[in-house]
Structure 1
Amino acid sequence: MGDFAWISLASAVLLVFIQCAAARWSWQASRWAVADVVWGPGLAAVALLGLLTGHGGIARRLVLALIICAWGARLGFHVWRRLRGHDEDDPRYVRMADGRSTARMMLSVFGIQGVTQWIVSLPLQVVAVSTDPHGFAWPITVLGALLAAGGLVVEALADRQLEQYKQLDPRPRIMDRGLWGWSRHPNYFGDACVWIGVYVIACSTWPGPLTFASPVLMTGLLVWGSGARLTERAMDGRPGVAEYRARTSMFVPWPPRTR
């Protein structure tokens, strides 16, 4: 228990440092959306911390570090490139900042994000200080690794397909090609799979199963928080959206419905 307390405290301190640095960057750039850039890299930093300072089984620590660092680096670069291509801040943050002081906004954005990262990273923290599984538990680790790696591929492919769609001229009214023909939010689905897979890896030894708050929180955010539902509301009223919704699964990829 003492080992977990140490890695948990170290992870919290690391995330506080990252969020303070992000808040300063945000202040200098006058862009609240900087928070989105550091979301993935912050979690990758916790995975690296576990790899370099934890003394649990090396196999799972290494697997998680590789997957989460790849996930975090790709996501951070993807969001940074999108941010760099726009002069205005993300409308979500603009609405959020309306009527709030800078100090309150800093706490709401970077403070809450740091706490969320700490909760989501609980499986990483547990794996950092727990032994690798034995015998029949190894397939659980393999299953989790395949699920997380598959989610990373789905998320990256979905983002790439969306980028290609935005470059089309003329551009169709609705993006319903590739993965987007099977799910209205395949990138968020892939993201959820990454963290469900991370949790499954942690579950291969005790007390990994106790970190269920991580996939529950992450999936909740992706579906009902700042992810799919928010995007759905932004799409309301656009031509062709009603028909797209009628035939396409909202989250989990599924063959499109036909009449």
Structure 2
Amino acid sequence: MSTHAAARGRAASLAHVVLAYVVAFGLAAAWLAWGPSTGRLWLDGLVADVIATLVVFAFSQLYRNSSFYDPYWSVLPPLLALYWWSQATPDVNQVRSWLVIGVITVWAVRLTGNWVYTWSGLHHEDWRYGMLRENRSKPQAFLVDLFGIHLVPTFSVFLGMVPVYIAVTRPGRPVGWLDVVAVVVGLGAVGLELAADIQMHRFARTRVPGQVLDTGLWGWSRHPNYFGEITFWFALAIFGLATSPSDWWWIFGGAVAMLVLFLAASIPMMEKRSLERRPTYQDVIDRVPMLVPRPPRR
């Protein structure tokens, strides 16, 4: 296929994904505007979230490609935060709300942009989805697709957004040093992810089969992008803590759930695949820490 034809096919694929999200968020917005209220703002947001997820799932089934869901992870949070903020009482802390939504927007633009840059089109599906459905009957594969690939990540992201709900809907304490920490940690996490992505993209242009990236950030952590992603969700939890310190005992629940999701699912799958495809990856495991960056062992 020529470069021009490939570009046309990729543009057409992206148009199909955009259509899916217009329909998904359009129906979710219609429910919020005209559907029955639950009487709880956070629950209204969750129901709309699930509606949008089910629409994206329907498109995934229609096109037999669950990568329709990939950008949902980063597209939903700023929209959900803006909805909650728009419905909040006037006495909510506006400065903190701007800070929270600003950090989320920067994160969302980077992550969505990286997906657009790396996704080649509807002929490509994330390899992890095939691994999850492998050796399962059609009914089992359907349930894995619905829950494991779509709904579980949706609920995980929503749980991670609970501190944002607190920050943009409650007056809370005045903006202080914890908010500054949250901004620094959040933007630092996005910067780390961006640097890791750039290094990986440059490496991917020239690598040979079996070669492993173990320089730059990837020489300090085997998954620096995941470390940045986990750190971002902890930054959102810090915003919630800054708003309501008395809720410290549960406010980090969403960030911890994200940590567990990466440690129990994403990272083991990546490690297994790398060991199968890259003969020298065990050497990298022996030298480079899995997640938290530090200088590699000799």
2:268 pairs with one of 226, 229, 249: 229
Determine if contact 2:71/2:115 at 8 Å carries over to the other structure: yes
2:161 pairs with one of 108, 121, 130: 121
Tell me by how many angstroms 1:122 deviates: 0.7
Any gaps of 5 or more consecutive residues in structure 1?
A: none
> CA 1:169/1:254 → structure 2, altered by over 3 Å: closer, same or farther?
closer
Q: Within 2, Cα distance between the matches of 1:74 and 1:27?
A: 27
Q: Which residue of 1 aligns with 2:28?
A: none
2:126 pairs with one of 79, 86, 90: 90
More moved, 215-224 vs 144-153: 215-224
Q: Within 2, Cα distance between the matches of 1:86 and 1:164?
A: 24
Determine if contact 1:147/1:194 at 8 Å carries over to the other structure: yes
Tell me by how many angstroms 1:22 deviates: 1.4
Would you say 1:216 and 2:290 are equivalent positions? no
Tell me by how many angstroms 1:87 deviates: 2.3
Tell me by how many angstroms 1:249 deviates: 1.1
Q: Which residue of 1 aligns with 2:77?
A: 43
Would you say 1:161 and 2:195 are equivalent positions? no
The SS at the match of 1:133 is: coil
Q: Within 2, Cα distance between the matches of 1:20 and 1:231?
A: 27
Determine if contact 2:160/2:253 at 8 Å carries over to the other structure: yes
Would you say 1:196 and 2:234 are equivalent positions? yes
The SS at the match of 1:84 is: coil
> Kindly, what percent of the aligned residue pairs are identical?
22
1:19 pairs with one of 48, 53, 66: 53
Determine if contact 1:126/1:208 at 8 Å carries over to the other structure: no
More moved, 123-132 vs 248-257: 123-132
The SS at the match of 2:212 is: coil
1:184 pairs with one of 216, 222, 231: 222
Q: Which residue of 1 aligns with 2:291?
A: 251
Q: Within 1, Cα distance between the matches of 2:142 and 2:281?
A: 38
**TM-score, normalised with respect to structure 2:** 0.77
Tell me by how many angstroms 1:150 deviates: 0.3
Q: Which residue of 2 aligns with 1:148?
A: 186
Q: Which residue of 2 aligns with 1:58?
A: 94
**TM-score, normalised with respect to structure 1:** 0.88
1:18-50 CA distances to partner (integer Å, 9 max, x unpaired)? Answer: 212311331333211222221111122222223
Tell me by how many angstroms 1:85 deviates: 4.9
The SS at the match of 1:224 is: helix
Q: Within 1, Cα distance between the matches of 2:131 and 2:284?
A: 27
Tell me by how many angstroms 1:155 deviates: 0.9
Number of residue pairs matched by the alignment: 251
Which protein shows a greater Rg? 2
The SS at the match of 1:174 is: coil
Tell me by how many angstroms 1:242 deviates: 1.6
Aligned-CA RMSD value:
2.2
> CA 1:246/1:29 → structure 2, altered by over 3 Å: closer, same or farther?
same
More moved, 107-116 vs 198-207: 107-116
Any gaps of 5 or more consecutive residues in structure 2?
A: 1-38
More moved, 19-28 vs 148-157: 19-28
1:81-104 CA distances to partner (integer Å, 9 max, x unpaired)? Answer: 433357242222123233242652
Would you say 1:6 and 2:44 are equivalent positions? no
> CA 1:100/1:123 → structure 2, altered by over 3 Å: closer, same or farther?
farther
Tell me by how many angstroms 1:162 deviates: 0.7
Determine if contact 1:51/1:65 at 8 Å carries over to the other structure: no
More moved, 180-189 vs 243-252: 243-252
Q: What is the identity, as a one-letter code, of the residue corresponding to 2:162?
A: L
Q: What is the identity, as a one-letter code, of the residue corresponding to 2:218?
A: W
Determine if contact 1:37/1:77 at 8 Å carries over to the other structure: no
